[in-house]
Amino acid sequence: MILMVWLAAVAASLLALAWAFRFYRQMMEADEGTELMKEIATHVREGADAYLSQQNRLVTITFLVLAVLLGIASYYLHLLNGFVPIAFLTGGLFSGLCGWFGMKTATQASSRTAAAARVSLNQGLQVAFRSGAVMGLTVVGMGLLYVTIWFAILYWAWPALMGAERAYSLEQISVAMLSFGMGASAQALFARVGGGIFTKAADVGADLVGKVEESMNEDSPNNPATIADNVGDNVGDVAGMGADLYESYCGSILAAAALGVAAFAAPQMVPEGMEGTEAQLATMMLPLAIAAAGIIASIIGIYAVRTGEDASQKSLLKALSRGINLAAVLMILMAMGLVYWLMPLVPGTEYFGGLSGVAFSVIVGLAAGWLIGKWTEYVTSDEYKPTQRLAKQAETGPATIIIGGIADGMMSVWVPVIVVCVAMTASFGFATGGQFGDISLFSLGLYGVGIAAVGMLSTLGITLATDAYGPIADNAGGNAEMARLEETVRARTDALDSLGNTTAATGKGFAIGSAALTALALLAAYVEGVRDGFERWGVAAVQTIDTDGFYKLSPGFMVHRDGDNATGYLVQPMIARDPLLTESWRDVSFSDGPAKLSEGVIAAGENGQFHFAVNGDALLPVASATLQEFTYFYDTTLMNPKVLIGLFLGAMATFVFCAMTMKAVGNAAEKMVVEVRRQLTENPKIKTGEAKPDYKRPIQISTSEAQRQMLMPSLLGLALPVFVGLLLGVGGVLGLLAGCLTSGFCVAIFMANAGGSWDNAKKYYESGHLGGKGSPGHKAAVVGDTVGDPFKDTSGPSLNILIKLMSMVSVVVAGLVVRYSLHSLGLF
């Protein structure tokens, strides 16, 4: 069965890649337009290539440094699975490749979309949307392929090569694979932050001088920063988004798989007539199976996006929605079947006499993503009241539209928060059959949350396509403008662009909602990383020991050496506090390495369990400790000052990260403004089109600024969990992650929605409302849009990744924190 699912997943991922290639070829065969159009597209392509190769150089160096650090941790300190450094690099590579393929496609597609739009709106849509689908299918194909390959290496290849006795346990495999996600997250953060700075510096620079000071049109070829602006759309919105969603997709699958293994670790959970590992393998495979089914659903959905040649914009929107909805319905049906087939049935959690409630968790996930998307559309689209009201506020000047946009953005947080909370409760509740109070089902409930995230992202193939085609249409518009094509072409690409904005809102809803649920799942998965860390510590410790016995390694941890076996045991703080254990346990010093406990301190019970002889208190084996027992061990309650400090630091990290990225955009934009002004002053003929501006220099400025400024925020995400872990231990890290998740989620939505609403309020003027283009209100709205640019395209979307990167880093360094935090050293 496992092999079957695995093969199906591999087949689905290859299918996705094959279809992506097919759509790519179709797009390449389309008419590329006039010579001028080709030339402009080449400019943009070269700029984007130049940026990406520059970024890749920097990222490669950073990755190599990090891989060396991970290598030391793996091979020298034995804190990590030996595959982690390699997988970290491959994770980053795959993620980068997704962005690169997407960008390649997008830069080829823009002139072709413009050319197709000369024929009809539908032709334009087909080229743009299919090109977006290349990205969508590449991301899911590569993501699923990556996960399946690593599973095969760890589960089949490794024991086949090294002998069955060195086989990894499923727990080890799932935790190791989870830590592989760190590479993808780090790459995604670099891509999002770097791309975000690039695109917004170019955009703000182009707008402030070109549009505001010189009253040029959007995408005017006389604006020296125009090409940079178009390059920015590709490196930020396309390449950055590709890496971002690759990370989300893999992260959700890996987190759910790890939680599935954890849920069935306790023998009493395993249904009768089943082996424990059998149940674990099944729950580990379920997310892969759902992802595979999602690929099929997405491809079918993509084909449903078609209309007649003379289609109106409205019918195009319908066509897009039809595709997404069809994929979702198919997904729900397939998910029911897959859950029925794969999911081990725990008594009390079945519905309709045999279907595990986990099936409904998938539906909850899909519904939650859809709801957040609709809400995003409502609060940001200029077809609805909120943005129209905001646009009206611009009439009293820039100050009022800024205040209004910030207030609207902050207010818009409530629906997504409620949806995520309800989705969390519902997916948890369905998975446990509504038995919220039954602690033995707790891990199963968390698995339900993880599966909900997988469900939400399962149709990413098509939702990402609707998201990614927006920048393509945007660039097509730029191409049409610069190539001085007929007005109707520009009108059509604008229609496509605005259509893209609407559907992109749904896509963003899925991305942001899944980030919250995945981060929640990762919070639980982190505890699995902690367990793995303890086990490695035990194994490492017994290698320095010659005689059998019990050895104290820290105030709450001992290892039992029994020949070649090392078994770790936790001593809960409330047990360690017993005055009877003062001499035999608490006062035993471990500062010179593992300290052997005196004979007779530990006794074996009838059931083979060990306990303290003096008072009969049982030792807690690390391998079977529940999630809750770990939370008690580290006292991760809200009353623990370490947890509270962690929460504070997590909230702080959100704000500091946003500040860093916004400042980066501000600094880069300032240099861009200076450069554009310089060109226009030194050669005023550029303004009239008599002389050609130097397009390259603005691209260079954006590139070098983006590179210089993206390092610090990314390092914040990488370093903070390590520092907090070493200073405050596991409790502090959990606080940090929870704080960053809750604050970060709210800030991300606030920024995305405020930015989106300002953008559309400006467009509302530009489509002729309230005095139209050039009115004082429009000028104020442009200020709002400029403020919103870094909100919605740099800081906001990067926050999603920051949250998950911190979780991933925490999982990876769990072994370090378990062993060397001040808490483990008995200092704090």
Region 421-440 residues binding its own copies, contact defined as CB under 8 A: 421, 424-425, 428, 436-437, 439-440
Q: For residue 532, how many C-alpha atoms fall within 13 Å in the half-sphere facing its CB?
A: 31
**Contact call for residue 419 and its own copies (CB under 8 A):** no
**Residues 224, 366: Cα–Cα separation, whole Å:** 44
Helix (H) or strand (E) holding 107: helix 84-119
The DSSP result for 241-270, as a single string, is HHHHHHHHHHHHHHHHHHHHHHHT-SGGGS
Candidate ranges 31-39, 67-75, 299-307, 443-451; the one touching its own copies (CB under 8 A)? 443-451
Pick the piece of the chain touching its own copies (CB under 8 A) from 23-31, 143-151, 612-620, 662-670: 662-670
Q: Which is nearer to its own copies, 388 or 400 (CB)?
A: 400
Closest C-alpha among 14, 17, 37, 20 to residue 110: 37
Query: Cβ closer to its own copies: 372 or 420?
Result: 420
Give the separation between CA 812 and CA 803, rounded to whole angstroms: 15
CB atoms within 10 A of CB 290: 27
Check: CB of residue 202 under 8 Å from CB of residue 702: yes
Query: How many whole angstroms separate alpha carbon 474 and alpha carbon 598?
Result: 74
CB 113 within 8 A of CB 131: yes
Each residue 798-827 as x (binds its own copies by CB under 8 A) or -, in order, gives: ----------------------------x-
**Shortest distance (Å) from residue 758 CB to its own copies:** 10
Do 671 and 701 form a contact (C-beta atoms < 8 A)?
Answer: yes
Nearest approach in angstroms of CB 726 to its own copies is 15
Interacting residues with its own copies between 374 and 393 (CB under 8 A):
393
Our finding on whether 403 is near its own copies (CB under 8 A) is yes
Q: Is 651 in the site for its own copies (CB under 8 A)?
A: yes
- Residues 313, 631, 683, 775: which binds its own copies (CB under 8 A)? 631
Evaluate whether 501 touches 539 at the Cβ level (below 8 Å).
no
CB of 337 to its own copies, least distance (A): 28
Candidate list 304, 411, 712, 825; residue touching its own copies; CB under 8 A: 411
Query: Cβ of residue 449: shortest distance to its own copies, in angstroms?
Result: 8
Query: Other C-beta atoms within 10 Å of 207: how many?
Result: 22
Q: How far is the CB of 728 from its own copies (least distance, A)?
A: 9
How far apart are CB 355 and its own copies at their closest, in Å? 23
Of the candidate spans 351-359, 372-380, 587-595, 646-654, the one that interacts with its own copies by CB under 8 A turns out to be 646-654
Tokens of 15: 């299918």
CA dihedral over 148, 151, 153, 155, signed as positive or negative: negative
Distance CA 124, CA 131 (A): 11
**Length of the chain (residues):** 828
Binding of its own copies by 573 (CB under 8 A): yes
Shortest gap between Cβ of 96 and its own copies (angstroms)? 28
Q: Which helix (H) or strand (E) holds 604?
A: strand 602-604
Residue 5 interacting with its own copies (CB under 8 A)? no
Residue 493 is encoded by which pair of tokens?
């690409």
The residue from 366, 420, 441, 601 that contacts its own copies (CB under 8 A) is 420
Residue type, 131: S
C-alpha 810 chain-centroid distance: 15
Q: Which of 163, 564, 589, 638 binds its own copies (CB under 8 A)?
A: 638
CA–CA dist 59, 706 (Å, integer): 12
Q: What are phi and psi of 696, to 5 degrees?
A: -70, -40
Rounded least distance, CB 575 to its own copies, Å: 12
Among 5, 73, 184, 208, binds its own copies (CB under 8 A): 208
Enumerate the β-bridge partners of residue 549.
Answer: 561
715 binds its own copies (CB under 8 A): no
Figure out which of the listed residues 407, 580, 604, 691 binds its own copies, where binding follows CB under 8 A: 407
Please tell me whether residue 783 binds its own copies under the rule CB under 8 A: yes
212 binds its own copies (CB under 8 A): yes
**Contacting its own copies within 161-190 (CB under 8 A):** none
- Which position among 46, 635, 712, 825 is part of the footprint of its own copies (CB under 8 A)? 635
CA dist., res. 442 & res. 259, Å (int): 11
Nearer to its own copies, 365 or 790 (CB): 790
Question: Using CB under 8 A, which of 57, 577, 685, 773 touches its own copies?
Answer: 577
Query: Of 719-778, which residues contact its own copies (CB under 8 A)?
Result: 734-735, 738-739, 742-743, 745-746, 750
